Amino acid sequence: MISMGSNLKICMIAYTLYSTDWRVQREAEALVASSGKDVLVLSLRESEIKKTYLRNGVEIHELGVGKYRGYSKVQYLFSYIKFIVLAFFECNRLLLRNTLDIVHIHNMPNTLIFAAIIPCLFGKKMVLDEHDTMPETYMAKFENNSGNTILKKLLEIEESICCRMADKVICVNHVQEEALVKRNIPKKKMHVHMNLPDPKGVNYGNAIKESPDAEGIFKLCYHGTITKRLGIDLAIRAVKMVEGKIPRLEFHIFGGGEGKDECVAVSEALGLHKFVNFRGSVQFKALIPIIAGMDLGIIPNRKNEATELMLPVKMLEYVALGIPVVCPRSRAIEYYFSEDMVFYYDLENIESMGDAIVLAYENRKLGMEKAENARKFFDVYGWDNQNKDLVDMYNSMAISIKN
């Protein structure tokens, strides 16, 4: 880690690709921008050769593990274990050099915290950043929401052990915090730091569209990971349902993932090749003006315990750009957004989703009113407030270290 005198030295551990993980980037850069903090991030290797580099004042050190994408439990487990072992040796190296004060672990998995077990035993502070709750997310991804109560209970025990090891537990929203408190994680450890659109990449002042597309095309969009649990195939089926009700409808899908081939197959089987466009992955900053030209954003999540706790960043990006949103009635979304802010549908109900899309098409003025109301979310939960809260939390930890 680059030493800057008596600065607070923070090591972040994240099983992620740093260049594409906006949450890790924003938190690291916010801490570097505040006075008296050095940040080193241990992350996944992004190319064949691992590297160490500086980005906006943050030092990134890639470990010798690439990101695994797929459904194999064994391969996932092996990838996690290898990353934890490598991070373990890096943490101990920093400890021996006396260049470590706080270890900030970004889950998943929670067990990344064991990479810092030796610094923990030597009294170093620990922060566990819960991007996703492990029990709900694992069950949704691998167990098809099958109700395997024994496995879920084991994951809750793992979560409890890791949270109790940490001095602070960061949650991404208040509904997730409530879920952890119900599982007897001490509320006094909790700190909510929300996943929000990148303030440097999203133009909050972008004007809301006041009229339909010049060619009369109604453009529906989804961007992000394409995977079954996020329900993109459900949105495609909803497009089929409304095909005759919206004369010139286009559904633009940006992104990639292990579910893309299946979604393409569903689209072709339904004869929607003229309406559904898979446009691949687009660099985020280049994607913003494209999204701004869309008429409606869609959040097609499947119904499971994980999606109930999610407040999708892609939804907040639509809101920030003034685009009306069709979204499911999930606990986290309903916590922050009322009926006059979005077009709701019932989770995993294709007919209800289709009705919401048609309602948004037939009531463009209502859509603009909802979009304008939704942007008030940022008056309360804007990045500046989130940034200040995170830095304040770290400043309080710094004081306890000095004392």
Q: Could you tell me if 40 and 135 lie in one domain?
A: yes
Residue 202 belongs to some domain of the structure? no
Q: Could you tell me if 339 and 192 lie in one domain?
A: no
CATH at 82: 3.40.50.2000
Residue 391 belongs to some domain of the structure? yes
Say how many domains are in the chain. 2
pTM: 0.84
Q: Provide the pLDDT for residue 165.
A: 94
Residue 207 belongs to some domain of the structure? no
Residue 205 belongs to some domain of the structure? no
Q: Could you tell me if 389 and 368 lie in one domain?
A: no
Which of 198, 266, 234, 223 lies closest to 353 in space, CA to CA?
Answer: 234
Q: Is the peptide bond before 109 cis (omega within 30 degrees of 0)?
A: yes
CA dihedral angle for residue 142, residue 146, residue 148, residue 154, rounded to 10 degrees: 40
Which domain, by its residues, includes 47? Answer: 8-196+382-402
Q: Could you tell me if 134 and 63 lie in one domain?
A: yes
How far apart (Å, rounded) are the C-alpha atoms in residues 150 and 375? 42
Q: Provide the pLDDT for residue 74.
A: 81
Q: Could you tell me if 164 and 231 lie in one domain?
A: no
Q: Provide the pLDDT for residue 5.
A: 42
Q: Could you tell me if 13 and 141 lie in one domain?
A: yes
pLDDT tens, per residue, the chain with 403 residues: 443 346 899 999 999 999 888 889 989 999 999 878 899 999 999 988 889 999 999 999 999 888 776 667 788 788 889 999 999 999 999 999 999 999 999 998 899 999 999 999 999 999 999 998 887 887 777 655 555 678 888 888 999 999 999 999 999 999 999 999 999 999 999 999 998 886 665 555 544 444 445 467 899 999 988 988 899 999 999 999 998 899 889 999 999 888 899 999 999 999 998 899 999 988 777 888 889 889 999 999 998 888 889 999 999 999 999 999 999 999 999 999 999 999 999 999 999 999 999 999 999 999 999 999 999 999 888 888 888 899 999 998 988 786 6
Q: Could you tell me if 246 and 150 lie in one domain?
A: no
Task: Measure CA 358 to chain center.
Answer: 28
The dihedral region occupied by 381, where left means phi > 0, alpha psi between -120 and 50, and beta the remainder, is alpha
Which of 55, 56, 180 lies closest to 107 in space, CA to CA?
Answer: 180
Q: Provide the pLDDT for residue 139.
A: 75
Residue 211 belongs to some domain of the structure? no
Q: Provide the pLDDT for residue 382.
A: 83
Q: Could you tell me if 236 and 224 lie in one domain?
A: yes
Q: Could you tell me if 177 and 235 lie in one domain?
A: no
Residue 208 belongs to some domain of the structure? no
Residue 53 belongs to some domain of the structure? yes
Q: Could you tell me if 145 and 260 lie in one domain?
A: no
Pairing mode of beta strands 249-254, 218-223? parallel
Burial of 247 (0-12, 13-18, 19+ CB in 10 A): exposed
DSSP 3-state assignment of 106? Answer: strand
DSSP 3-state assignment of 168? Answer: strand
How far apart (Å, rounded) are the C-alpha atoms in residues 113 and 127? 9
Which of 313, 316, 332, 350 lies closest to 136 in space, CA to CA?
Answer: 332
Q: Could you tell me if 291 and 336 lie in one domain?
A: yes
Residue 2 belongs to some domain of the structure? no
Q: Could you tell me if 165 and 133 lie in one domain?
A: yes
Contacts of 83 (CB under 8 A, 6+ apart): 15, 44, 63, 65, 112
How far apart (Å, rounded) are the C-alpha atoms in residues 118 and 124? 9
